Chain A
């Protein structure tokens, strides 16, 4: 069997737009804010884009360096603007979106809003040439659903303005030269296996490549001498022996977690990986930016 190739040399720099994806709770917002902070520190300016109520960005960017535009895209606004550009008039857009049948339809049809939000991201980037735009994508296991939308639109739609709309998104936003995809994950075997599947479906269904995998919360180990000392004492009788055995148990647990994390990392194979440590508190954007720099994030 041929040995796996070593990790490729430091991969090409990221594209201007960085789409940060990953499921809820893996630290997606933390990584996105860290990337924006890093860009602001090294280039003086950056944009952080989120789709929520703005709270996630305010929280994650607290204490971040100056020069970060914090942009909140609300789907209702994005929809209104996208419709106005489609129909060539905001009045017509309001007529259609306000129509009694269209209103509930748009509310339950997921793709409509998402396409409009992607269009808003495209505009943010177009208005800021040369500025790193970091997008904190929605907390969803279905990031692929978002990324494949323009492509899907091209397949489903007949000729017309909406098709043109999707074509422009595919050309000017969801193209390798325009945006890079960063997947945030955790160092657990099954989570990483899901991540690998995610990377594969992003490639297959959206026709895009995942540029980096950020593995968050890598557990820290202890020097082996500590475990040796605890094990040596564990042989003693009485309270001391029991206490040393308990400590040895804790240290063994940590060692096992580190080993499991290292073994798990092999699951994602040759991808370019950023390794971020576990912290017992919420890390700040500056801390994360520093971690990312040591991992070679440009």
Chain B
């Protein structure tokens, strides 16, 4: 096994103009096979000659293990049949994101970084800060994408209805950090906490009255410590506003830019259907339409062996019983899939629906390989390919 391999170099050489990769954001509820589908799409792209990077926000360790990809901050080649050297995966560890983020933000402010790491409010945030993992991951992707290393980046979002909030979360955080609220909160910090005094809020008299009032109220209910720690934290964050805005901007560019497209992934359950409809509406609020909806485990075929074995002159009863049980299962699966497909076509009538097969239980990498073959004919529906 090769332990380290360099990312494929640009065939045109360093002088060529850098083409930004296409970005495909996959979203869907939990348990619909989103990570597997993203990996399969990456494999299908690699097989069609594209250099593909699959980025997983919420690494399913089962898949990571099956693909031989470590949870790490650097892209790793994935060895799957016919992928050549074109399929790569990036699975950063969500538990380290906040720490990485702080290190990125305060690269030029070591004293402030030390203060932040010791701040009670920061320590309380721990891994719970929503959006930070996405922000950190997208900056890792931006760094890789800048090198003209990949044609397509497939992003597997966290399995949640809030996954798409991450699309504009960086922008919202930047607005917060760059705006008056933070300047105001920072101004509450006792002098001497931050290295430099943050800019005072451009406060009118009414605002100043409101500020004093709110400050006293908040201090009264939370006790003095929390208010002081919060203010100190924001005071330090105000120091690195510009860098924060730049980081957030890069992440937003990739997720919301011209070359970003969105795929919804669902399974044949009512919960998955409702999640897909919700996420489509969420995209609609951003003025986006999903390119397609992939319905997993929805195409149930009668296997060839069924007819052959039933046609035997003297089929063993145990065999017939097994065939009957499997047929009943297929009937139930087909009914469930048809029901959800009908509902989805009704509710998301402008989104092309791609039904993917139900695959018999097998190893995760075998599922990825099988699914990639089924995605191949739909590649142009799913990804806007230049050539």
Which positions in A face B, CB cutoff 8 Å?
23-27, 29, 52, 55-56, 59, 86-87, 92, 95-96, 99-105, 107-108, 110-111, 139-142, 145, 152, 156-163, 188, 190-191, 194, 219, 222-223, 225-230, 232-233, 239-240, 242-244, 246-247, 250-251, 253-254, 256-257, 279-282
Contact = CB atoms under 8 A, between A and B. Distances in A.
B129 interface: yes
A156 B124 CA distance: 8
Interface of A is mostly: helix
5 contacts: A142-B128, A161-B220, A191-B62, A233-B309, A281-B333
A230 B318 CA distance: 9
B118 interface: no
A228 B322 CA distance: 11
B335 interface: yes
B211 A254 contact: no
B111 interface: no
Interface stretch (B13-21, B24-32, B44-52, B100-108): B24-32
A281 B125 CA distance: 40
Contacts of B181: 100-105
Interface of B: 29-32, 58, 61-62, 65, 120-121, 124-131, 159-161, 172-173, 175-176, 179-182, 184-185, 207, 210-211, 213-214, 217-218, 220-226, 229-230, 269-272, 274, 303-305, 308-309, 312, 316, 318-319, 321-323, 325-326, 329, 332-333, 335-336, 360-362
Contacts of B121: 156
A239 B308 contact: yes
A116 to B, nearest CB: 13
A104 B335 contact: no
Contacts of B271: 25, 29, 56, 59, 282
Contacts, number: 194
A156 B125 CA distance: 11
Contact of A190 (B61, B124, B269, B322): B61
Contact of B318 (A23, A104, A223, A257): A223
Contact of B30 (A108, A139, A163, A227): A139
Contact of A24 (B29, B126, B329): B29
Contacts of A101: 180-182, 184-185, 211, 214
B323 A247 contact: yes
Task: Choose among B65, B124, B333 the residue with the greatest number of A CB atoms under 10 Å from its CB.
Answer: B124
A256 B366 CA distance: 15
Task: Choose among A26, A145, A282 the residue with the greatest number of B CB atoms under 10 Å from its CB.
Answer: A282
Contact of A99 (B176, B214, B222, B303): B214
Given A158-B225, A247-B319, A140 B185 contact: no
Contact of A222 (B58, B220, B322, B335): B322
B128 A96 contact: no
Interface of B is mostly: helix
Nearest to B222: A162
Given A157-B226, A160-B223, A226 B322 contact: yes
Given A99-B214, A280-B336, A158 B223 contact: yes
A226 B65 CA distance: 33
Contacts of B333: 280-281
Given A139-B30, A157-B225, A247-B319, A102 B218 contact: yes
Nearest to B312: A240
Given A161-B221, A163-B223, A190 B65 contact: yes
Given A87-B221, A111-B124, A246 B61 contact: no
A190 B62 contact: yes
B362 A253 contact: yes
Nearest to B131: A108
Contacts of B161: 52, 139
Nearest to A226: B322
A51 B125 CA distance: 21
Nearest to A92: B217
A55 B232 CA distance: 41
A230 B319 contact: yes
A103 B185 CA distance: 12
B28 to A, nearest CB: 9
B172 A108 contact: yes
A232 B319 CA distance: 11
A25 B32 contact: yes
B232 to A, nearest CB: 13
A247 B335 contact: no
A293 B213 CA distance: 56
A105 B175 CA distance: 11
A257 B305 contact: no
A280 B218 contact: no
A96 B220 CA distance: 12
Contacts of A105: 176, 181, 185, 230
Nearest to B210: A99
Contact of B326 (A23, A29, A104, A250): A250
B169 to A, nearest CB: 8
Contacts of B309: 233, 240, 243-244, 247
Contacts of A145: 126-128
B159 A157 contact: no
A156 B308 CA distance: 70
A143 to B, nearest CB: 11
A108 to B, nearest CB: 6
Contacts of A250: 303, 326, 360
Given A111-B128, A156-B120, A160-B222, A247 B322 contact: yes
Given A95-B213, A225-B318, A230-B319, A253 B130 contact: no
B341 to A, nearest CB: 14
Nearest to B330: A280
Contacts of B185: 101, 105
Contacts of B361: 219, 253-254, 256-257
Shortest beta-carbon contacts, A-B, top 10: A25-B31, A24-B30, A158-B223, A25-B30, A226-B322, A225-B318, A243-B305, A243-B308, A160-B223, A280-B332
